[in-house]
Amino acid sequence: MEATTTERERVVYKALQEPTLCAAFQVTAAEHPDRVALRTKGDEFSMTWAEYRDKITALAGGLAGLGLGRGDTIALLLTNRPEFHWVDAAAMHLGATPFSVYNTYSAEQIEFLVSDAQNAIIVTEAQYLDTIAKVREACSSVEHVVVVDEPREGTLSLDDVEGRAEEGFDFEAAWKAVQPDDVLTLIYTSGTTGPPKGVQITHENELSAGRSFDQIIQFPDGARAVSYLPMAHIAERSCTHYLPIMFGFTVTCCPDARQVISYLPEVKPSWFFAVPRIFEKLKAAMEAGMEAEQDEERKKFAKHALEVGLKKVRLEQSGEEVPDDLREEFEKLDEQVFSKIRAGLFFHAIGLPLAELWGMSETCGAGTCNRPEHIKIGTVGPPAPGIEVKLADDGEVLVRGGVVMKGYRNQPEKTKETFDEDGFLLTGDIGEFDEDGFLKIVDRKKELIINAAGKNMSPANIEAKLKTASPLIGQAIAIGDARPYNVALVTLDPDSVPGFAREHGLEGEPIEKLAGEEAVIAAVQEGVNRANEQLARVEQIKKFKILPTDWEPGGDELTPTMKLKRKPIVGKYQDEIEALYAK
């Protein structure tokens, strides 16, 4: 399903026709040498595309001097800062494969990634050095730790790296040797029950995604974007690292995602990608501003304006014609109210389109997308140009096209299982198409938690940590899908409870009563704390509820083989779950 051409004159981006991201970078830098490529808020730091090119040329030589070459891997544990872009792009020009690590990961989690990637170099910041020290001790492949801000003994600075360049290093020959099928990056994504899988994204994959987005969005020349989500997330890596290379964006780095809203009035991004939680916060901020208005007349006027905007949008979404009087009233209110707040907020009701899309790490974050000129709220749009999307007999969404990954690193069998005989990727998501060919995601075959911030997590991994952290915990279910944080429902282990009860003067008390005893709750809390120490911050359990019951195999909560019946549990204990999110 092809995108419709908009009225705006199409900008032709030569970089999109290049075979690799390295070649695309060189084209963009040559076309816009004086345009700002990377900056921080208030222009405390600013770098043009020409300066960016010079920096990665120097760094590439140094990284090559450290032994990094085509096919090698390099880990980046960094916040959103200019140095990320330098190092990643420099490694890319050597044909190496940089991968990013969530900065909330524990040493144990990073050790798994490093063991899988077998990287010799880790680039990080001083604040993460204690964690990296544990990783370095456990992983023999790590030879060099590069610290971009405050190097310590035993580490290298970026200047040190540049100084390692060998005389005669041929930068141009290095990047011209890179091939379209070379692995551009690894995106480690959680599975349903096991550890993360390394999604291998090639240069051609990412360029295919860029060409597809070009037909949908048609970025203006000199577009602006804010980088604020973790670069370990495929969406952020594509939106504010690879797409800028293809389209010549100016990227403003925001090291703290919680501050991103304050960046919007200054940057005035040409387009803004966000996970649902960000838009929820924007909506809440706007509503809070209305409620805080002291002048009752102005408050009433603002609420009326929003109601008019919503009425107009609802008519448009239902396919009904907007009456002339309503349209005229909206246009008047738009001039008086909405135009004054559009610099920072993005919603249909105030005249700024919000378009949903669907994709996954395995497809470079591309798949389906609403077009700016035709948005259906509640859907993720029709298939993006150049991407085939269809549904299996059971409703599973299947995808095929140039954006689809090369495979999972070191997991040929898992890769094979992920594709059907026609080469379609089995996404694990359940969807349905409407009469206009717009896709709606209605369920997931995989048991992943995707929280309100868009982070994918394996509930089975979290639950395993909980159950091994305390002998008192018998069963546990982690909940957090589309929620701001994770909570858990736990049951007490019937074999361990009697001994604990004796030690605390509670002998003979039934489980129903023990579940509410302070000593029991405190002991379970200690176990939850221990489990949380082994989990990334976003995965950690913030609240829990001990249920005054036991779950039996074959009952409402467990299958005969002791697997959790997730949907029935959520339905049965809806009140308990909502109570955990109530405050």
What pLDDT sits at residue 342? 65
Confidence category of residue 8, pLDDT binned at 50, 70, 90: very low
Asked whether the beta carbons of 410 and 28 are under 8 A apart, the reply is no
Q: Is residue 33 part of a domain?
A: yes
Three-class HEC string of 525-562: HHHHHHHHHCCCHHHCEEEEEECCCCCCECCCCECCCC
CA distance 554 to 577: 22
Phi, psi of 412 (to 5 degrees): -60, -35
Q: Is residue 4 part of a domain?
A: no
Torsion angle in degrees (nearest 10) through CA of 148, 152, 156, 159: 60
Confidence category of residue 349, pLDDT binned at 50, 70, 90: low
The larger pLDDT score, comparing residue 369 to residue 336, is at 369
Confidence category of residue 7, pLDDT binned at 50, 70, 90: very low
Asked whether the beta carbons of 309 and 351 are under 8 A apart, the reply is yes
Q: What integer best gives the mean pLDDT of the chain? A: 90
Q: Is residue 159 part of a domain?
A: yes
CA distance 471 to 209: 48
Average pLDDT, stretch 132-155?
Answer: 96
Q: Is residue 460 part of a domain?
A: yes
Asked whether the beta carbons of 66 and 144 are under 8 A apart, the reply is yes
What pLDDT sits at residue 161? 98
Same-domain status, 340 and 383:
no
Same-domain status, 181 and 259:
yes
Q: Is residue 5 part of a domain?
A: no
The number of distinct structural domains making up the chain is 4
Q: Quote the tokens at residue 2.
A: 């092809």
What pLDDT sits at residue 120? 98
Q: Is residue 7 part of a domain?
A: no
Average pLDDT, stretch 550-556?
Answer: 81
Lowest model confidence (mean pLDDT) among 78-87, 184-193, 222-231, 411-420: 184-193
Same-domain status, 499 and 423:
no
Half-sphere exposure of 374 (CA within 13 A, CB side): 13
Give the angle 322-326-329 at the CA atoms, nearest 5°. 145
What pLDDT sits at residue 495? 78
Same-domain status, 164 and 219:
yes
Lowest model confidence (mean pLDDT) among 123-127, 308-312, 538-542: 308-312
Same-domain status, 568 and 487:
yes
Q: Of 399, 427, 446, which closes a domain?
A: 446
Three-class HEC string of 412-462: HHHHHHCECCCCCEEEEEEEEECCCCCEEEEEECCCCEECCCCCEECHHHH
What pLDDT sits at residue 4? 31
Same-domain status, 90 and 150:
yes
Q: Of 424, 446, 468, which closes a domain?
A: 446
DSSP for 22-49 reads HHHHHHHHHH-TTSEEEEEGGGSSEEEH
Q: Is residue 213 part of a domain?
A: yes
CA distance 93 to 81: 19
Same-domain status, 292 and 202:
no
Q: Quote the tokens at residue 325.
A: 């009087």
What pLDDT sits at residue 339? 74
pLDDT per residue as tens digits for the range 246-274: 999 999 999 998 888 889 889 989 888 88
Match 């995601």 to its residue by tokens: 441
What pLDDT sits at residue 347? 67
**Terminal alpha carbon distance of the chain:** 45
Decide if pLDDT at 192 tops 60. no
> Which residues, in sequence order, are bridge partners of residue 491?
475
CATH number of the CATH domain containing 514: 3.30.300.30
What pLDDT sits at residue 436? 92
Decide if pLDDT at 2 tops 50. no
CA 310 to chain centre: 29
Same-domain status, 106 and 207:
yes
Same-domain status, 461 and 385:
no
Residues 20-30, buried b or exposed e (16+ Cβ, 10 A)?
bbbbbbbbbbe
Decide if pLDDT at 559 tops 90. no
Same-domain status, 425 and 541:
no
Phi-psi region of 386 (alpha: psi -120 to 50; beta: other; left: phi over 0): left
Q: In percent, how much of the chain has pLDDT > 70?
A: 92
pLDDT per residue as tens digits for the range 381-439: 999 999 999 999 988 999 999 999 999 999 999 999 999 999 999 998 888 999 999 99
pLDDT per residue as tens digits for the range 27-69: 999 999 999 999 999 999 999 999 999 999 999 999 999 999 9
Decide if pLDDT at 277 tops 60. no
CA distance 175 to 24: 11
The number of beta carbons lying within 10 Å of the beta carbon of residue 393 is 5
Average pLDDT, stretch 209-230?
Answer: 93
CA distance 174 to 125: 28
Q: What are the helix and strand counts (H, E) for the chain?
A: 21, 22
Same-domain status, 245 and 293:
no
Phi, psi of 156 (to 5 degrees): -115, 150
Confidence category of residue 133, pLDDT binned at 50, 70, 90: very high
CATH number of the CATH domain containing 25: 3.40.50.12780
Average pLDDT, stretch 197-209?
Answer: 97
Q: Is residue 523 part of a domain?
A: yes
What pLDDT sits at residue 134? 97
Q: Quote the tokens at residue 121.
A: 């170099």
Asked whether the beta carbons of 383 and 366 are under 8 A apart, the reply is no
Same-domain status, 187 and 96:
yes
Q: Of 397, 413, 446, which closes a domain?
A: 446
Report helix angle 203-217 to 21-31, nearest 10: 50
The 8-class DSSP code of residue 140 comes to T
Average pLDDT, stretch 166-192?
Answer: 91
Domain that holds residue 282: 277-345
